[in-house]
């Protein structure tokens, strides 16, 4: 759970100089809706999609988390509520409103010795038009079991221009064991809000 919290903080704060210069597409009404939803919901879950991965032997699934301007405001409002703080439109930062889609692909390791597929690269495929991320970072996590054995797992955090994501787009997740696809229908249920 700590890893998820750290990942959400990282997704909320990821920005670059280009992101800060981008105009915000989230109007005052959508900001108010995100704040209302974040402060009124009992529990806010990160928009994510689980990709099942198989080889000769089953491997750990990959979670792909998504962050958009709406979700960044929603999570900031939810976190404020969780910590008994107030959150208003004046608390919304330019980084939250950055005109970007941030996708983070991470293996979900449930058992220490489980086989994993390591996400290496993400691209948006909109009817054959491939959009590469404007920024991509490798994220690593060190795991330790009860006997002190250590293992490192890696994922990738990719930043795309928000305008590149269209309803017919799919996300191609390239791993060390092949490629997985997130469908347009799955994206629209979780990301396109």
| pLDDT at position 16 over 60 | no
- Are the C-beta atoms of 12 and 143 separated by less than 8 Å? no
Q: Comparing 173 with 187, which gets the higher pLDDT? A: 173
* H or E segment and range at residue 66: strand 62-67
List pLDDT tens digits, range 55-97. 555 577 888 888 889 989 999 999 999 999 999 999 999 999 9
Based on the structure, what is the number of domains in the chain? 1
* C-alpha neighbours within 13 Å on the C-beta side of residue 134: 17
- Are the C-beta atoms of 21 and 99 separated by less than 8 Å? no
Structure tokens at 49: 């999609």
| pLDDT at position 124 over 50 | yes
What is the three-class DSSP state of 101?
Answer: strand
pLDDT given for residue 6 in this prediction? 36
- pTM here is 0.77
β-bridge partners, 172: 123, 181
Q: How far apart are CA 94 and CA 104, in angstroms?
A: 21
pLDDT given for residue 3 in this prediction? 43
Structure tokens at 14: 């990821």
Which of 33-47, 55-69, 124-138, 141-155 has the weakest average pLDDT? 55-69
pLDDT given for residue 24 in this prediction? 46
pLDDT given for residue 7 in this prediction? 41
The range of the structural domain enclosing residue 149 comes to 2-190
């Amino acid at each position: 759970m700590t890893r998820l919290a750290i990942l959400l903080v990282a997704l909320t704060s990821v920005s670059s100089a280009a992101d800060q210069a981008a105009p915000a597409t989230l109007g005052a009404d959508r900001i108010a809706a995100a704040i209302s939803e974040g402060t009124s919901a009992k529990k806010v879950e990160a928009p994510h999609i689980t990709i099942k991965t198989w080889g000769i032997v089953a491997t750990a699934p990959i979670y792909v988390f998504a962050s958009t301007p709406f979700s960044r405001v929603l999570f900031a409002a939810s976190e404020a509520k969780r910590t008994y703080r107030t959150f208003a439109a004046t608390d919304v930062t330019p980084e939250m409103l950055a005109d970007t889609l941030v996708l983070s692909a991470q293996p979900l390791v449930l058992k220490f010795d489980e086989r994993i597929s390591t996400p290496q690269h993400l691209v948006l495929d909109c009817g054959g038009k491939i959009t590469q991320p404007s920024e991509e970072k490798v994220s690593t996590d060190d795991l330790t079991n009860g006997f002190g054995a250590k293992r490192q797992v890696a994922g990738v955090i990719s930043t795309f221009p928000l305008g590149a994501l269209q309803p017919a787009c799919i996300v191609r997740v390239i791993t060390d064991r092949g490629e997985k696809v997130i469908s347009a229908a799955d994206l629209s249920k979780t990301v396109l809000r």
